[in-house]
């Protein structure tokens, strides 16, 4: 009887233990590896996206730097300096710098020959005006030279500032603007040099023209003296009344 009861107890225990064993988790190595690979791929993809975003941020920062304007503009200063020398030319007196007026004045005051109808007083007045034109041309040239000398100091300061701006440029736009302003400074100096050369050459040309006109006047005076109606007759002169 005891044996039968023990058998029933063992059977009951086995029946009770069977469902508990069925609830245990089953480890699938293949599924675990697949999940790990998927997680690693997702991590790599996220990392690549972060790197891409970082590169795009750097590109945007570089673009912002390249588009940053130079906080310095010398164009106004260059224009003001150039206006000073231009004003000196505009204030110049004598033969005009305009082509039409210059041609008319030159033809009037610097003839290659004088007609016989021109009076001696008119020739003397022309000679006086030619001398005055040469004097005024010299005055303009001296003023231009003085102005050019004064501009050297401002040009040196502007050059030093532009070089410093170019060396500290944070982007392509600032570097290009600094270079353009350096070229503008060079152009202004070139224009000033041309203006100075024009005034110097004009002074030399007027002086040479004055010499040529004086020769033409001297020829006419000599012709009138030698070929006049009343020739000169030598006479003795008594200085002391004897």
Q: How many domains does the chain have?
A: 2
Measured over the CA atoms of residue 67, residue 73, residue 78 and residue 79, the dihedral's sign is: positive
pTM of the predicted model, to two decimals?
A: 0.59
**Would you say 81 and 188 are in contact if contact means Cβ atoms under 8 Å apart?**
yes
Same domain, 49 and 123: no
Residue that the structure tokens 């005076």 belong to: 221
Same domain, 170 and 194: yes
Same domain, 55 and 84: no
Q: DSSP labels for 146-160?
A: HHHHHHHHHHHHHHH
Condensed to tens digits (0 to 9), the pLDDT of residues 143-161 reads 999 988 888 888 888 888 8
Residue 2: pLDDT band (50, 70, 90) is very low
Same domain, 83 and 147: yes
Q: What is the pLDDT of residue 185?
A: 84
Residue 232 inside a domain? The answer is: no
Same domain, 61 and 176: no
Residue 205 inside a domain? The answer is: yes
In sequence order, which residues have a C-beta less than 8 Å from that of residue 164 and are 6 or more positions away? none
Same domain, 82 and 132: yes
Residue 7 inside a domain? The answer is: no
Same domain, 35 and 140: no
Residue 233 inside a domain? The answer is: no
Least confident segment among 113-122, 184-193, 230-239: 230-239
Structural domain containing residue 43: 30-66
Same domain, 51 and 153: no
The mean pLDDT value for 173-195 works out to 84
Same domain, 46 and 153: no
Condensed to tens digits (0 to 9), the pLDDT of residues 38-93 reads 878 888 888 888 787 777 777 766 666 665 666 667 777 888 888 888 888 888 88
Residue 180 inside a domain? The answer is: yes
Q: What is the pLDDT of residue 17?
A: 52
């Amino acid at each position: 009887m005891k044996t039968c009861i023990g058998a029933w107890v063992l059977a009951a225990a086995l029946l009770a233990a069977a469902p508990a064993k069925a609830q245990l988790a089953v480890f699938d190595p293949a599924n675990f590896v697949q999940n790990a690979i998927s997680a690693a791929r997702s991590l790599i993809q996220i990392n690549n996206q972060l790197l891409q975003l970082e590169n795009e941020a750097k590109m945007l920062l570089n673009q912002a730097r390249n588009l940053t304007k130079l906080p310095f503009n010398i164009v106004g200063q260059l224009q003001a300096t150039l206006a000073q020398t231009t004003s000196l030319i505009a204030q110049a007196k004598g033969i005009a710098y305009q082509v039409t007026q210059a041609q008319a004045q030159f033809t009037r005051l610097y003839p290659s020959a004088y007609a016989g109808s021109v009076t001696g007083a008119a020739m003397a007045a022309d000679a006086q005006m030619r001398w005055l034109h040469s004097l005024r041309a010299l005055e303009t040239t001296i003023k231009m030279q003085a102005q050019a000398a004064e501009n050297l100091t401002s040009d040196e300061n502007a050059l030093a500032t532009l070089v410093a701006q170019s060396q500290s440029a944070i982007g392509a736009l600032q570097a290009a603007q600094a270079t353009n302003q350096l070229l503008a400074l060079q152009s202004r100096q070139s224009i000033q040099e041309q203006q100075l050369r024009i005034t110097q050459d004009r002074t030399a040309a007027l002086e040479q023209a004055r010499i040529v006109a004086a020769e033409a006047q001297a020829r006419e005076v000599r012709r009138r003296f030698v070929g006049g109606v009343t020739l000169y007759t030598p006479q003795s002169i008594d200085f002391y009344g004897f």
